[in-house]
C-alpha cells in the first residue's frame, strides 16, 4: 500500500508490494503541495503499461532466454522515451521507477517526450558459465549484448516503428546496440543514441549529458552559491560517459576539479587536477587510480571533501543519510540518476545544502535525444554547436523556473523541479482527458 492511500494496480496484479521509491516520495509531496487530488496523484505515479517479456535468443548455436520488462510510464506529453538497460538484477519496480524518472525529466526540461524504460536481465557471469568462457572477454560480452538487443528489437519492432516507445542507451548498452535496433527498423527516428555514421546520428549526443551538467553547475555556483565559477572547487565521483566531458567542460570554465574517483580508485590534488592528463591516464589504465598528477583518495573521502560542488556521476543511492551528514560541499549536483536516497535528501534539506536534481542536472542526454529524433524525422542535421546551444537554453530556462519557485515557495530546488514537472504532466493529462 502506497503512502498516498491507494493500492497500486500492479501490486494487485503481481501480489507484491511496490516500494516507496524516491520519485514516489517526491511526487506524493509535490501532489500535496500543488493541491492535486490524491486519486490524480495516484494516476500520475502509476505506469500506463508494464510489459513483462521473454526474449528467446539464438547465441553462438545455443538458445538463451532472457526475461525483461518494458515500463511505459506516461505518454501525455509525447512518445514514451527511455533507455534499454542490460543488467543481472533488473526488476519490474526498478524499471518502473526509471521510467517515471524519465517522465519527470522530460517534463522538467520541457522536452516533448513521455517516460519509458526497458530492463533486460542479462547476467554475464552466468553467460561465461553457460558458454564455458573465461571472464573478462569483452568481445564475447558484445556478442551477448548485441544478440540480446537484436532479438528484443525483433520482438518490439512495431512498437519502435510506430514511435510509441523510442529506446536509447542505458547501463549495458551503447551505440552498437542502438545500431542493431536501427538495423531492425531501418527508421532513423525509431531509436536515439546511434553511433557516428548510423543514419540519423547526432553530433555531440555522446557528450551532451556531461556538457549540460557542467552548464547547470556553473549557473548554480554563480547564482545560488554566489561564487565565481572560475576557481570554484569540484569533487567528482565517476569518470565515464558523463564524468569525462563534464570534468573537461568545468575546467574550461575555470573551475578546479580537485578529486575524481571511480570503481577502482581515485585521485586528489587540492590545487586542481590536470584533466587532460587524467583523461590520457584513464584511457590507458581503465581507472583514474594511479594517476601521477594526484594523491590516492577513496570514494568515502571524496564524498566528504570540503569543496564548492560535489558531483555524484556514477551510481544510484551513494548519498545515504549517513553520507549526507558528512558532506561538507556547498552544493550537490546530481549527474547520476537518483544518487541521493530519500533519507539522504531529507538530511541535506535539513542541513540547507542545495541539490540540483538529476531531472535537471543530467537532462542533457534526453534533450540531445529530442534533437536526434527531430533531425531524424526531418533529415536536417544540426551541428555540435547548435546541439549545445539548445541544451543550454532548455536546461537554463527550466533551472531559472525551478530556482524562482524554490525561492518564492521556500522549498528545496529538488521539490521545486518535481513540482514544475508534475504540474506540466498533470495539465496535459487533464487537457487530453486522461485523468
Ligand atoms: P559509465 O558506466 O560510462 O561510467 C560510470 C563511472 O562511474 C565509471 O567511472 C565507474 O567506474 C564509476 N562507478 C560506478 N559505480 C561506482 C561506485 N559505486 N563508486 C564509484 N564509482 C563508480 O556510466 P555513465 O553513462 O557515465 O552514467 C553515470 C550515471 O549517469 C548513471 O547513473 C547513469 O544512469 C546516469 N546518466 C547517464 C546518462 C548518459 O547519457 N550516459 C544520461 C543520464 C543519466
Q: Which pLDDT tens digits describe the chain residue by residue (435 residues)?
A: 566 666 666 677 676 888 889 999 999 999 999 999 999 999 999 999 999 999 999 999 999 999 999 999 999 999 999 999 999 999 999 999 999 999 999 999 999 999 999 999 999 999 999 999 999 898 999 999 999 999 999 999 999 999 999 999 998 999 999 999 999 999 999 999 999 999 999 999 999 999 999 999 999 999 999 999 999 999 999 999 899 999 999 999 999 999 999 999 999 999 999 999 999 999 999 899 999 999 999 999 999 999 999 999 999 999 999 999 999 999 999 999 999 999 999 999 999 999 999 999 999 999 999 999 999 999 889 999 999 999 999 999 999 999 999 999 999 999 999 999 999 999 999 999 999
**312 Cα: distance to centroid of ligand 1 (angstroms):** 9
DSSP code at position 263: S
CA atoms within a 13 Å half-sphere pointing along the CA-CB vector of 265 = 16
Angle between helices 342-351 and 22-34 (to 10 degrees): 50
Regarding the domain delimited by 47-186, which CATH topology (the fold level of the hierarchy) does it fall under?
A: Rossmann fold (3.40.50)
Asked whether the beta carbons of 194 and 182 are under 8 A apart, the reply is yes
Choose among 327, 261, 324: nearest CA to 294. 261
DSSP string, 90-123: --HHHHHHHHHHHHHHHHHTT-S-EEEEEEEE--
**Nearest atom, ligand 1, residue 193 CA:** 40
Q: Which residues, at least 6 apart from 403, have a Cβ–Cβ distance to it below 8 Å?
A: 223, 224, 413, 416
Q: Around Cβ 383, how many Cβ atoms within 10 Å?
A: 10
The pTM (predicted TM-score) of the whole model is 0.95
Ligand 1 pocket mutation, candidates 212, 313, 323, 357, criterion most atoms within 8 A of CB: 313
**243 Cα: distance to centroid of ligand 1 (angstroms):** 7
Q: What is the pLDDT of residue 14?
A: 74
**Nearest atom, ligand 1, residue 318 CA:** 18
| Residue 117 annotated to the active site | yes
**Nearest residue CA, atom 17 of ligand 1?**
263
Residue intervals in the chain for CATH 3.40.50.10860 = 47-186
Ranges of H-type helices in 236-320: 243-252, 275-285, 299-303
DSSP code at position 58: E
**61 Cα: distance to centroid of ligand 1 (angstroms):** 33
Ligand 1 pocket mutation, candidates 86, 194, 240, criterion most atoms within 8 A of CB: 240
**171 Cα: distance to centroid of ligand 1 (angstroms):** 8
Cell numbers that stand for 68 in this block: 525483461
Ligand 1 pocket mutation, candidates 315, 333, 338, 367, criterion most atoms within 8 A of CB: 315
Cβ < 6 Å from ligand 1: which residues?
Answer: 209, 237-243, 261-263, 299, 313-316, 335-337, 362, 365
**190 Cα: distance to centroid of ligand 1 (angstroms):** 25
Q: What is the pLDDT of residue 19?
A: 84
Alpha-carbon span 158 to 296, nearest angstrom: 51
84 strand-pairing partners:
118, 169
**313 Cα: distance to centroid of ligand 1 (angstroms):** 6
Active-site choice (81, 105, 117, 392)? 117
**Nearest atom, ligand 1, residue 209 CA:** 40
Q: CA-CA distances (angstroms) from residue 91 to 38, 80, 96?
A: 26, 19, 8
235 strand-pairing partners:
259, 310
Residue intervals in the chain for CATH 3.40.50.720 = 208-361
DSSP code at position 412: -
- Beta strand 355-356 with 62-74 is unpaired
Asked whether the beta carbons of 75 and 48 are under 8 A apart, the reply is yes
Alpha-carbon span 335 to 315, nearest angstrom: 10
Give the position of cell 590516492.
296
Question: Which CATH superfamily, name and number, covers 208-361?
Answer: NAD(P)-binding Rossmann-like Domain (3.40.50.720)
- Beta strand 62-74 with 114-121 is antiparallel
Q: What is the pLDDT of residue 136?
A: 82
Alpha-carbon span 306 to 29, nearest angstrom: 31
Cell numbers that stand for 84 in this block: 534499454
**Nearest residue CA, atom 3 of ligand 1?**
240
Alpha-carbon span 109 to 80, nearest angstrom: 15
**Nearest atom, ligand 1, residue 314 CA:** 7
Q: What is the pLDDT of residue 3?
A: 65
Alpha-carbon span 180 to 175, nearest angstrom: 9
Give the position of cell 572547487.
233
Q: CA-CA distances (angstroms) from residue 202 to 114, 136, 157?
A: 21, 31, 22
**Nearest residue CA, atom 32 of ligand 1?**
336
Q: What is the pLDDT of residue 379?
A: 85
CA atoms within a 13 Å half-sphere pointing along the CA-CB vector of 99 = 32
Amino acid at each position: 500500500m502506497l503512502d498516498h492511500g491507494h493500492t497500486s494496480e500492479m501490486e494487485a496484479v503481481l501480489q507484491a508490494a511496490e516500494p516507496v521509491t524516491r520519485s514516489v516520495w517526491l511526487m506524493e509531496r509535490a501532489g500535496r503541495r500543488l493541491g492535486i487530488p490524491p486519486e490524480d496523484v495516484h494516476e500520475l505515479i502509476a505506469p500506463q503499461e508494464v510489459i513483462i517479456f521473454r526474449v528467446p535468443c539464438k547465441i553462438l548455436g545455443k538458445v538463451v532466454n532472457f526475461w525483461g520488462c518494458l515500463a511505459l510510464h506516461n505518454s501525455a506529453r509525447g512518445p514514451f522515451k527511455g533507455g534499454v538497460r542490460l543488467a543481472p538484477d533488473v526488476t519490474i519496480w526498478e524499471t518502473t521507477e526509471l521510467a517515471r524518472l524519465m517522465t519527470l525529466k522530460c517534463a522538467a526540461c520541457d522536452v516533448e517526450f513521455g517516460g519509458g524504460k526497458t530492463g533486460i536481465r542479462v547476467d554475464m557471469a552466468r553467460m561465461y558459465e553457460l558458454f564455458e568462457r573465461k571472464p573478462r572477454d569483452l568481445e564475447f560480452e558484445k556478442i551477448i549484448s548485441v544478440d540480446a538487443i537484436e532479438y528484443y528489437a525483433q520482438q518490439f519492432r512495431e512498437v519502435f516503428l510506430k514511435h510509441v516507445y523510442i529506446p536509447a542507451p542505458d547501463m549495458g548498452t551503447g551505440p552498437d546496440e542502438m545500431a542493431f535496433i536501427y538495423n531492425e527498423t531501418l527508421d532513423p527516428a525509431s531509436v536515439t543514441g546511434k553511433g557516428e555514421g548510423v543514419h540519423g546520428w547526432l553530433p555531440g549526443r555522446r557528450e551532451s549529458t556531461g556538457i549540460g551538467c557542467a552548464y547547470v553547475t556553473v549557473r548554480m555556483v554563480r547564482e545560488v552559491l554566489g561564487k565565481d565559477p572560475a576557481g570554484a572547487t569540484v569533487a567528482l565521483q565517476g569518470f565515464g560517459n558523463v564524468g569525462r566531458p563534464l570534468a573537461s567542460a568545468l575546467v574550461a570554465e575555470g573551475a578546479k576539479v580537485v578529486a575524481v574517483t571511480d570503481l577502482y580508485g581515485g585521485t586528489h590534488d587540492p590545487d586542481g587536477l590536470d584533466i587532460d592528463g587524467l583523461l590520457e591516464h584513464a584511457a590507458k589504465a581503465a581507472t583514474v587510480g594511479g594517476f601521477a598528477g594526484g594523491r590516492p583518495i577513496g570514494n568515502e573521502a571524496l564524498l566528504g571533501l570540503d569543496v564548492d560542488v560535489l558531483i555524484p556521476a556514477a551510481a544510484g543511492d551513494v548519498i545515504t543519510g549517513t553520507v549526507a551528514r558528512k558532506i561538507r560541499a556547498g552544493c550537490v549536483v546530481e549527474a547520476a540518476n537518483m544518487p541521493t536516497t530519500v533519507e539522504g535528501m531529507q538530511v541535506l534539506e535539513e542541513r540547507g545544502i542545495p541539490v540540483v536534481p538529476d531531472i535537471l542536472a543530467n537532462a542533457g542526454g534526453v534533450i540531445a535525444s529530442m534533437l536526434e529524433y527531430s533531425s531524424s524525422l526531418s533529415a536536417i542535421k544540426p551541428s555540435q554547436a547548435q546541439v549545445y546551444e539548445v541544451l543550454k537554453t532548455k536546461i537554463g530556462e527550466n533551472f531559472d523556473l525551478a530556482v524562482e519557485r524554490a525561492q518564492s515557495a521556500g522549498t528545496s530546488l529538488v521539490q521545486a523541479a518535481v513540482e514544475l514537472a508534475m504540474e506540466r504532466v498533470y495539465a496535459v493529462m487533464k487537457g487530453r482527458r486522461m485523468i
